[in-house]
Amino acid sequence: MNIKPDPTFHATAKLAMQAPVENYGFTVMLSPDGSQSDGIAVVDLNPTSKTYGEIVHQVIVPNKGDEFHHFGWNACSSSLSPLTGHAFLERRYLIVPGIRSSRIYIIDVKDPLKAKIHKTIEPEELFEKTGYSRPHTIHCGPEGIYVSTLGGGGEDGTDGPPGIFIMDCETF
């Protein structure tokens, strides 16, 4: 556990604007027809780097047909609330939902140039634990990771309404 808040967490928008710029960005690489696996590209954002603007690393998932959607962090500035017990989390993991597959990938980006899959939450586990499918958008919050869904349970996502669930930001 860290003994001080992650330096990428900011108590105000003004402090965030004054913070150092990011050195790496993360974006999805989609297979529009599902014939290949989706992936996360790590892009060099340092304008003084020889690889500025280039993909410097990739994480390609082993499954096809996921269709990555609105991914997000395991923790962010909202974790700073002293009431949450999460103020010392590290912004380390990207939570990447597959809207077609109902699969969720946890990508460890502590070292962006060695980013890798930390954990995969399979659709069956998602259905069993939440009753939802088709994870859509990830938001970090003070209580954990908020995940909005577009489907209920069952193979086709029509067994019940869609909803929102909270996932633990450390154990996922």
User: What Rg, from alpha-carbon coordinates, does the chain have?
Assistant: 17
Q: What is the pLDDT of residue 76?
A: 72
Which percentage of the chain shows pLDDT scores above 70?
Answer: 87
Beta strands 72-73; 55-64: pairing state: unpaired
Q: What is the pLDDT of residues 65-93, one digit of tens each?
A: 999 999 998 877 665 555 566 556 778 99
Residue 146 counted as domain residue: yes
Average pLDDT, stretch 27-42? 95
User: Are the C-beta atoms of 95 and 74 separated by less than 8 Å?
Assistant: yes
Amino acid at residue number 53:
G
CA distances from 6 to 9, 110, 163 (A): 6, 12, 30
Q: What is the pLDDT of residue 123?
A: 94
Residue 8 counted as domain residue: no
Residue 96: closest CA among 54, 67, 123, 132: 67
Residue 172 counted as domain residue: no
Residue 6 counted as domain residue: no
**Rounded CA gap, 159 and 67, in Å?**
21
Number of independent structural domains in the chain: 1
- Residue 23: both structure tokens together: 């050195």
Helix extents (H) in the chain = 13-18, 123-130
Q: What is the pLDDT of residue 169?
A: 86
Q: What is the pLDDT of residues 122-138, one digit of tens each?
A: 999 999 999 999 999 99
Average pLDDT, stretch 138-166? 89
- How high does pLDDT run on average in the chain? 88
Average pLDDT, stretch 5-32? 82
Residue 159 counted as domain residue: yes
* Structural domain containing residue 105: 13-167
Residue 2 counted as domain residue: no
Q: What is the pLDDT of residue 151?
A: 94
